[in-house]
Amino acid sequence: MRRTAGERFWSKVDRGGECWLWLGYGLASGYGMFWDGERKIGAHVYSFKLHGGVLTPRRPYVLHSCDNPPCVNPAHLRAGSQKENIADAVGRKRMTGNYHPRTERAKLSEADVRDIRESPERGSDLAERYSVTRITIYNIRNYKTWKHLP
């Protein structure tokens, strides 16, 4: 028996914390992607719409109040405009006049990354210690990010 899109969606979500983390396919930016049966859609957008959220021509974006791209908790999502999205990015220091996302958004130091790669601890424990997502830990350990470090 085929599962519904909703069942497939929830099977890829960890609702164990305040942020509900998307564990399925994701972009390098951290945003999850989901095939809804017709098209690929942002996992956060799917969650927003699944819970009754409406996007309009004036507010066509889904914004995160938690600033955590893999989060799909509808309580952390809201409709917004491009202007609001940019204002959020600037306010959270994710965008400046000389925007360099890999350096401006980095929460971890090179020493942190080396420690994460060498640690035998579980990813969830490291994520909590360094205040990042488990996906961030996974990407570091599998050289999807911080590729320049041996």
pLDDT digits (tens, 9 = 90+) for 67-95: 899 999 999 999 999 889 888 887 877 76
Q: How far apart are CA 114 and CA 147, in angstroms?
A: 11
**For the chain, how far is it from start to end, CA to CA, in angstroms?**
46
Residue 90: both structure tokens together: 């600037």
Widest CA span in the chain: 52
Average pLDDT over residues 21-43: 92
